[in-house]
């Protein structure tokens, strides 16, 4: 098993931390992981992306130009990464902020209205874990038990009081993700 | 298993943890992207409250390397970290450290140059690290980590080699490995050496106060008598020959039957190992040699491969062709040597390395 | 010639115990030897021989380590205060001082000096200010007076052409981390005695953990100034002291 995922959106959307939770979950299940971010000025309000690779074998290259899954959270990232999903791969996007939906026909496409849903629930900060939950329901590469451990490990202790909400958001994400193609 | 501490951490963060845990006495640094997390993590860890390690933010890289010089001159285990432009500023100090035979650790998380360049990753400081950088005939031991775990492990290894040979060690990483997170197994906390231990180990040369010693120790690199300076140089060179004989480290991947061999270090080697797997699937007998020590360089295994009939080597680097010179020196003209590289902070992917191999050597 | 044995009761002066037998390379009339002697005496009198770590500069006093019998570290040009910072932080119980000239300290080492002082490092700097580069052959230094002739100001230092001199001690006195700063000279026996007291006070201030201390010594360079030793002392008094007046500039405690 080897899953190469790109998560891309605006800085501040929790792109990097979503990747971190996923990577830590992999570690808890004793898998190999890499987490390679874009860094620099992009971190400061512009676009941000992170490549996470989870594998049951030693990971050779942490750099990849094609992805098993792309999680896309703004139009710029759609423009950049739609073409880089491997044929037969998965593209997940939040419809909020996407003006030009994907056109590929050789991949599975899912939408998740996590921005709207988390805002409706008054928990806008759970946006990224909700999407993570949606992704994991499509690609259950890590068992939920380890996801919860990974979640705890990747949050600082002062944020542990939000663990139940995050767990709920992960589960809720699995409910609201929709396959459109 | 129970006491195995496994974490998901950035390469830069593990440098800080490794320093504290291997009993480092002092870190002196100046912020520069993409390695500022090293000092940030240390400040967060507050090791002065636990192990007694000193952490100080200096006013420049010039100052931080000279703080390292001062600390190392007293026999303490001290280090700094920076990125390419900062390491250029440290070059003066590195020459002095090497001349005075002071053990220390310098981490260079390389970014693209020349000049202010970019904050994106690069391997453009190979020449600077391995062929000098500062003035005079000297070497540093240069270690090239290719994973976050190696970033962690090479801190202690770097210090061990530095003290074994009384030489500065450099950990030559890059922005990507510094910023990347991977699984890392942390080692148990080691105590810092006591003052008595330091006197015992370094008392013959270190300037930590005469104490009960009759002879004062002077740490200097000034030798105005030609014979005297030549003797110092000869002594340094003899030491370098010893290091070249004993400390070469490298890793081979699928080289046994390889007809073509990629040579790459650090992040590039990780990428190239995926290229090797792809090439093998296509029936191309490709191998990878990854130098772990860039100084001393693994000339011998490359030479043996050339003698055994490898048809071509490709040096794959995030620069315009630096390490290729050492690959050429190793094969002594017996075998074609090509180069593939990108600059500007662009990182090649395994596919493009394979394509370059086909264009350069398989035509 | 037979050696004359001097009875202990008749002995009024001797080479300080911590001044080595190495023949000094300083020119006749140079202030360095006198200041070295004072430092050696202070270290001995305070019982600091075993716990002193000294940092020497680049310049005429590059060989200071040959003359005072304590552990020394020779710093790169201008970097002494950075070197001393780390030494002191790693050895907080030790006496750590730098010995630097005006070329080393006030030109190439400005950043290291100011920042060590600003951080309030518990080190002492003995700053020999003779307003010229001695070692390299008498070129202009930042503290060279206006009108003063040097190898690189052969027609005299001109403010428009060469910029103005600056007063290091006065400038540093503004910094919170600096608690003792004084300007002395060794051109008369009375000044030598005052200078020694100042060095001792600086050492005590430093050991007490009271921040950064500097003893500036307005000094002669008869070779660089192209004067006899006697003329140089006179020139110092008539020219340098009006720009660099003697006395304590700051004597305080670290702000809380």
Determine, for residues A40 and B351 on separate chains, whether the beta-carbon distance falls below 8 Å.
no
The predicted complex's ipTM stands at 0.95
- Interface of chain B toward chain C, CB-CB under 8 angstroms: 25-26, 28, 54, 56, 58-60, 62-64, 66-71, 73-74, 76, 78, 92-93, 96, 207-213, 216-222
What band does B4 get if pLDDT is binned at 50, 70 and 90?
Answer: confident
C4 or A177, which is more confident? A177
Strand partners, C251: C180
Q: How far is CA C217 from CA B126, C57, C95, C203, C246, in A?
A: 46, 15, 20, 15, 9
User: pLDDT per residue over A65-120, tens digit each?
Assistant: 899 999 999 999 999 999 999 999 999 999 998 999 999 999 999 999 999 999 99
User: pLDDT per residue over B331-347, tens digit each?
Assistant: 999 999 999 999 999 99
CA distance C137 to chain B (A): 17
Q: What's the length of chain A?
A: 181
Alpha-carbon distance of B263 to B271, in angstroms, equals: 11
The residue of chain B with its CA nearest to that of A63 is: B349
Largest separation between any pair of C-alpha atoms in chain A: 44
The residue of chain A with its CA nearest to that of B148 is: A34
The full set of domains in chain C, from first to last, is 24-131+140-251 (3.40.50.970)
User: pLDDT per residue over A127-139, tens digit each?
Assistant: 999 999 999 999 9
CA distance B131 to chain C (A): 21
pLDDT in tens, chain C (256 residues): 566 777 888 888 889 999 999 999 999 999 999 999 999 999 999 999 999 999 999 999 999 999 999 999 999 999 999 999 999 999 999 999 999 999 999 999 999 999 999 999 999 999 999 999 999 999 999 999 999 999 999 999 999 999 999 999 999 999 999 999 999 999 999 999 999 999 999 999 999 999 999 999 999 999 999 999 999 999 999 999 999 999 999 999 999 8
- CB contacts < 8 A (A, B): 69
The helix, strand and coil proportions of chain A, stated in percent and rounded to the nearest 5, come to 45, 25, 30
Shared fold status for B5-195 and B250-360: yes
Q: Where are the domains of chain B?
A: 5-195, 250-360
Q: What is the DSSP letter of C51?
A: G
Determine, for residues B274 and A61 on separate chains, whether the beta-carbon distance falls below 8 Å.
yes
Determine, for residues C72 and B216 on separate chains, whether the beta-carbon distance falls below 8 Å.
yes
A64 has a chain B CB within 8 A of its CB: yes
Asked whether the beta carbons of B286 and B340 are under 8 A apart, the reply is no
State the first-to-last Cα distance of chain B, in angstroms, to the nearest integer: 51
Among the four given CATH numbers 3.40.50.920, 3.30.70.100, 3.90.79.10, 3.40.50.300, the one describing domain B250-360: 3.40.50.920
User: pLDDT per residue over B305-335, tens digit each?
Assistant: 999 999 999 999 999 999 999 999 999 999 9
On chain A, the residues whose CB falls within 8 A of the CB of B349 are: 61, 63-65
**Order of strands across the sheet that contains A47-55:** A178-179, A108-111, A85-93, A67-72, A2-10, A47-55, A32-37, B181-186, B5-10
Determine, for residues A20 and B181 on separate chains, whether the beta-carbon distance falls below 8 Å.
yes
On chain C, the residues whose CB falls within 8 A of the CB of B58 are: 82, 115
The residue of chain B with its CA nearest to that of A64 is: B349
Determine, for residues C76 and B58 on separate chains, whether the beta-carbon distance falls below 8 Å.
no
Among the four given CATH numbers 3.20.20.10, 3.40.50.720, 3.40.920.10, 1.10.20.140, the one describing domain A2-179: 3.40.920.10
CA angle, B206 as apex, B200 and B212 as ends, to 5°?
A: 60
Tokens 């002492």 identify what position?
C124
Asked if the model's pLDDT at residue B1 lies above 50, the reply is no
pTM assigned to the model:
0.95
- Least Cα distance to A154 among A41, A56, A52 occurs for A52
**Order of strands across the sheet that contains B218-219:** B218-219, C71-74, C52-56, C95-101, C124-129, C212-218, C178-185, C247-251
Determine, for residues B63 and C115 on separate chains, whether the beta-carbon distance falls below 8 Å.
yes
The residue of chain C with its CA nearest to that of B79 is: C86
List chains touching C (3+ CB pairs under 8 A). Answer: B
The residue of chain B with its CA nearest to that of A17 is: B181
Determine, for residues B181 and A39 on separate chains, whether the beta-carbon distance falls below 8 Å.
no
Determine, for residues B207 and C75 on separate chains, whether the beta-carbon distance falls below 8 Å.
no
The A residues from 4 to 33 touching B (CB cutoff 8 Å) are 20, 23-24, 27, 32-33
Assign C192 to helix, strand or coil: helix
Q: What is the DSSP letter of B169?
A: E
Q: Which residues are CB-contacts of A160 (< 8 A; sequence separation ≥ 6)?
A: A152
CATH number of the domain located at residue range(s) B5-195 in this protein: 3.40.50.970
Q: C-alpha dihedral over B63, B67, B70, B76, to 10 degrees?
A: -160
On chain B, the residues whose CB falls within 8 A of the CB of A23 are: 8, 181
Determine, for residues B180 and A37 on separate chains, whether the beta-carbon distance falls below 8 Å.
yes
């Amino acid at each position: 098993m080897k899953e190469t995922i790109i998560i891309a959106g605006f800085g501040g959307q929790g792109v990097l931390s979503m990747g971190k939770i996923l990577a830590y979950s992999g570690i808890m299940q004793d898998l190999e992981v890499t987490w390679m971010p874009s860094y620099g000025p992009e971190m400061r309000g512009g676009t941000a992306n992170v490549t996470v690779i989870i594998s049951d074998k030693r990971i050779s290259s942490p750099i990849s130009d094609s992805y098993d899954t792309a999680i896309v959270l703004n139009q710029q990232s759609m423009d950049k990464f739609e073409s880089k999903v491997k044929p037969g791969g998965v593209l997940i996007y939040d419809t909020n902020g996407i003006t030009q939906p994907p056109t590929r026909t050789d991949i599975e496409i899912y939408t998740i209205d996590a921005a709207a849903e988390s805002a409706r629930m008054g928990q806008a900060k759970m946006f990224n874990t909700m999407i993570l939950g949606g992704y994991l329901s499509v690609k259950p590469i890590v068992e939920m038990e380890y996801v919860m451990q990974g979640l705890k490990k990747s949050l600082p202790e002062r944020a542990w009081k939000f663990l139940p909400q995050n767990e709920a958001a992960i589960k809720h994400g699995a409910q609201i993700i929709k396959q459109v193609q | 298993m129970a006491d195995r501490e496994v974490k998901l951490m950035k390469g830069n963060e593990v440098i800080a943890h490794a320093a504290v845990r291997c009993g480092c006495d002092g870190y002196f640094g100046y912020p520069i992207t993409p390695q500022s997390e090293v000092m940030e993590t240390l400040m967060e860890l507050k090791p002065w409250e636990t192990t007694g390690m000193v952490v100080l933010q200096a006013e420049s890289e010039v100052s931080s390397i000279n703080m390292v010089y001062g600390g190392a001159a007293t026999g303490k285990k001290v280090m700094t970290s920076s990125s390419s432009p900062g390491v250029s500023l440290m070059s003066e100090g590195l020459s002095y450290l090497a001349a005075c035979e002071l053990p220390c650790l310098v981490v260079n998380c390389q970014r693209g140059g020349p000049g202010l360049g970019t904050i994106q990753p690069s391997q453009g400081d190979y020449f600077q690290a391995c062929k000098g950088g500062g003035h005079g005939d000297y070497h540093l031991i240069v270690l090239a980590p290719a994973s976050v775990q190696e970033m962690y492990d090479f801190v202690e290894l770097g210090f061990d080699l530095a003290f074994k040979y009384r030489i500065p060690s450099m950990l030559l990483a890059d922005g990507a490995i510094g910023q990347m997170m991977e699984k890392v197994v942390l080692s148990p906390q080691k105590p810092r050496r006591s003052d008595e231990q330091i006197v015992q180990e370094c008392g013959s040369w270190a300037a930590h106060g005469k104490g009960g010693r009759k002879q004062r120790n002077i740490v200097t690199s000034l030798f105005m008598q030609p014979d005297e300076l030549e003797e110092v140089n000869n002594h340094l060179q003899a030491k370098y020959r010893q290091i070249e004989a004993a400390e070469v480290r490298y890793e081979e991947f699928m080289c046994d039957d390889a007809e073509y061999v990629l040579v790459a270090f650090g992040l590039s080697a990780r990428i190239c190992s995926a290229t090797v797997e792809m090439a093998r699937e296509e029936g191309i007998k490709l191998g990878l040699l990854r130098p772990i020590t860039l100084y001393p360089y693994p000339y011998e295994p490359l030479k043996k491969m050339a003698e055994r009939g490898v048809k071509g080597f490709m040096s794959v680097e995030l620069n315009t062709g630096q390490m290729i010179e050492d690959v050429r020196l190793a094969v002594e003209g017996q075998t074609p040597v090509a180069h593939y590289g990108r600059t500007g902070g662009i990182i090649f992917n395994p596919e493009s390395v394979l394509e370059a191999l086909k264009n350069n050597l398989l035509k | 010639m037979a050696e004359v044995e001097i009875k202990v009761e008749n002995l009024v002066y001797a080479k300080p115990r911590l001044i080595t037998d190495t023949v000094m390379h300083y020119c006749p009339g140079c202030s360095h030897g006198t200041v070295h002697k004072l430092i050696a005496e202070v270290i001995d009198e305070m019982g600091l021989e075993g716990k002193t770590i000294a940092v020497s500069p680049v310049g005429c006093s590059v060989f200071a380590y040959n003359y005072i019998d304590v552990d020394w570290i020779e710093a790169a040009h201008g970097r002494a205060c950075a070197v001393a910072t780390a030494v002191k932080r790693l050895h907080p119980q030790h006496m750590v001082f730098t010995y630097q000239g005006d070329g080393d300290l006030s030109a190439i080492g400005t950043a290291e000096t100011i920042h060590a002082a600003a951080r309030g490092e518990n080190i002492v700097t003995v700053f020999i200010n003779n307003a010229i580069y001695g070692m390299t052959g008498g070129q202009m230094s930042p503290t060279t007076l206006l009108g003063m002739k040097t190898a690189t100001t052969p027609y005299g230092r001109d403010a428009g052409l060469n910029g103005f001199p600056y007063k290091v001690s006065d400038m540093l006195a503004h910094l919170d981390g600096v608690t003792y700063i004084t300007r002395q000279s060794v051109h008369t026996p009375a000044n030598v005695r005052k200078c020694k007291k100042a060095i001792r006070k600086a050492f005590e201030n430093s050991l007490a953990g009271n921040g950064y201390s500097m003893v500036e010594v307005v000094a002669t360079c008869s070779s660089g100034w192209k004067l006899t030793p006697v003329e140089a002392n006179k020139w110092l008094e008539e020219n340098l002291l009006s720009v660099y007046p003697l006395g304590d500039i700051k004597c305080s405690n670290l702000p809380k």
